[in-house]
Amino acid sequence: MSDHYDVLICGGGTAGLTVAAQLLNNETPPSVGIIEPSDKHYYQPLWTLVGAGVFPKEDSQRDEKDYIPAGADWIKDRVSSFNPDSNSVTLESGKTVSYGHLVVAMGIQINWNGIPGLMDVLGKPGTGVCSNYSYETVDSTWNTIRALKSGRAIFTEPITGVKCGGAPQKIMYLTEDHLRKQGLRDRCEVIFCNAKAKHFSCDHYTPTLLNICETRGIDVRPQTELIEIRGGSNEAVFRKHETNEEVVLSYDMLHVTPPMGPLDLIKDSPLGNDAGWVDVDQHSLRHVRYDNIFALGDCSSLPTSKTGAAIRKQAPTAVANILADRAGQPATAAYDGYTSCPVVTGYGKLVLAEFDYTKGPCESFPFDQNKERYSMYMLKAYALPRMYWHGMLKGRM
């Protein structure tokens, strides 16, 4: 490990590894250091299908060391503070590393304790409370779905932004489909309690998704926020935003998408905006106050849906602008807000939503993506994971 890098990357997740690989694929690569504490890297988009029993969770996990690109130094430590005025970062070990350019790619914070009572029951056998939102709890989802023979299944979405805006409802469609296939659908109620007013962030796809809910008898309750879990009595407490009334619902299955937000470390640093996200220009990905700092992925202030697919388009922009700076050229690369959400609507069915800052559709295929398709399900389940491990993380796309 050196004490200075041309480009220092904080976070070796989806965004950090992709940027590192692309920088090092360049003909005259800069020196690159990646600060990442974890031994493992996860392909999180697979967790939807892990939770639905399609894949074992081990398929989503690889060793971090195998994805640190050749030529980069892996600094196995944790960032503890940013010192942008002295172009350096302090690590938990007490060391300081300086940089020419800094890339912040540290993901989102999941606030599991934001729902009182959740941690008492989450993922524990027999409680019925599960979540796809971590490697540790994702198999509790499939165990819960399998055990459900009758009663009420509730799926929640918090008021905060979440990574992959469609994921809270994907697992609901899969559970409903599973119940139908098992001949149990008539014995179960399926309810989607969404704290947000909107069913989906891109209006173009909303009628299709709401129509699926209506056809399949899913009870959609917008502006209904999970505020507490009473595990002892299998009850979930919700606040209805329109009336401010509290409603208590009993459950047999409760899939929780927990509230999320910016990392405390970023919020409390000079890099954060008022909300706590790394404050970058939405097109250049350059920090609005510090010229040599870039951010992308879930930790950034980019006003688009937080997905790995978005990072696939953000990374080349950040890399091109950093390399242009280093060459003394104008940095003109611009990101258009592209993001994609493969909304799995059942086993073998998927609506591939793709949109950008305009919130208009921005589709890749020469057919109408605004309908459920088997081919798009196969893309998500089999092609995208391969493209991720062998293409994106290797800086090839």
Ligand X SMILES: Cc1cc2nc3c(=O)[nH]c(=O)nc-3n(C[C@H](O)[C@H](O)[C@H](O)COP(=O)(O)OP(=O)(O)OC[C@H]3O[C@@H](n4cnc5c(N)ncnc54)[C@H](O)[C@@H]3O)c2cc1C
Question: Of the residues 10, 164, 188, 362, which is catalytic?
Answer: 164
Q: Which of residues 224-243 bind ligand X (CB under 6 A)?
A: none
Options 8, 9, 10, 174; binder of ligand X; rule CB under 6 A = 10
> What is the smallest separation between the CB atom of 77 and ligand X, expressed in angstroms?
7
Cβ(116)–Cβ(278) under 8 Å? Answer: no
> What is the smallest separation between the CB atom of 170 and ligand X, expressed in angstroms?
7
User: Total residues contacting ligand X (rule CB under 6 A)?
Assistant: 35
Using CB under 6 A as the binding rule, whether residue 12 contacts ligand X is answered as yes
DSSP string over 31-56: PEEEE---SEEE-GGGHHHHHTTSS-
Rounded distance between C-alpha atoms, residue 254 and residue 250, angstroms: 9
Nearer to ligand X, 152 or 163 (CB): 163
Rounded distance between C-alpha atoms, residue 336 and residue 282, angstroms: 8
Using CB under 6 A as the binding rule, whether residue 45 contacts ligand X is answered as yes
One character per residue 58-97, x = contact with ligand X (rule: CB under 6 A): --------------------xx------------------
**213 in catalytic set:** no
Best CA proximity match to 171, nearest among 52, 86, 292, 289: 52
Residue nearest ligand X, CB atom distance: 13
> What is the smallest separation between the CB atom of 141 and ligand X, expressed in angstroms?
10
Q: Which of residues 92-111 bind ligand X (CB under 6 A)?
A: 105-107
Best CA proximity match to 115, nearest among 263, 274, 241, 235: 235
> What is the smallest separation between the CB atom of 284 and ligand X, expressed in angstroms?
18
Q: Please report, as a single letter, which amino acid is at residue 347.
A: Y
Rounded distance between C-alpha atoms, residue 231 and residue 182, angstroms: 27
Nearer to ligand X, 80 or 358 (CB): 80
**Both tokens assigned to 395:** 């800086």
Best CA proximity match to 67, nearest among 113, 19, 106: 19
Options 8, 121, 164, 295; binder of ligand X; rule CB under 6 A = 164
* Burial 337-369, CB ≥16 within 10 A → b, else e: bbbbbbbbbbbebbbbbbbbbeeebbbeeeeeb
113 exposure class (CB count in 10 Å sphere: 0-12, 13-18, 19+): exposed
What sign for the dihedral angle of Cα 270, 274, 276, 279? negative
> What is the smallest separation between the CB atom of 132 and ligand X, expressed in angstroms?
4
Using CB under 6 A as the binding rule, whether residue 35 contacts ligand X is answered as yes
Using CB under 6 A as the binding rule, whether residue 117 contacts ligand X is answered as no
Question: Of the residues 10, 130, 299, 341, which is catalytic?
Answer: 341
Using CB under 6 A as the binding rule, whether residue 128 contacts ligand X is answered as no
Interhelix angle 167-181/138-147, rounded to 10 degrees, is 30
Q: Could you tell me which stretch among 33-41, 151-159, 178-186, 277-285 binds ligand X (CB under 6 A)?
A: 33-41
> What is the smallest separation between the CB atom of 110 and ligand X, expressed in angstroms?
9
> What is the smallest separation between the CB atom of 161 and ligand X, expressed in angstroms?
11
Options 272, 342, 346, 395; binder of ligand X; rule CB under 6 A = 342
Q: Which of residues 284-313 bind ligand X (CB under 6 A)?
A: 297-299, 306-309, 311
Would you give the DSSP letter of residue 382? Answer: I
**164 in catalytic set:** yes
Rounded distance between C-alpha atoms, residue 212 and residue 198, angstroms: 15
Using CB under 6 A as the binding rule, whether residue 15 contacts ligand X is answered as yes
**Both tokens assigned to 99:** 């940089």
Strand partners for 344: 350
Nearer to ligand X, 106 or 213 (CB): 106
Options 5, 67, 99, 133; binder of ligand X; rule CB under 6 A = 133
Q: Which residues bind ligand X (CB under 6 A)?
A: 10-16, 35-38, 44-45, 47-48, 78-79, 105-107, 132-133, 163-164, 167, 265, 297-299, 306-309, 311, 342
Active site residues: 164, 341
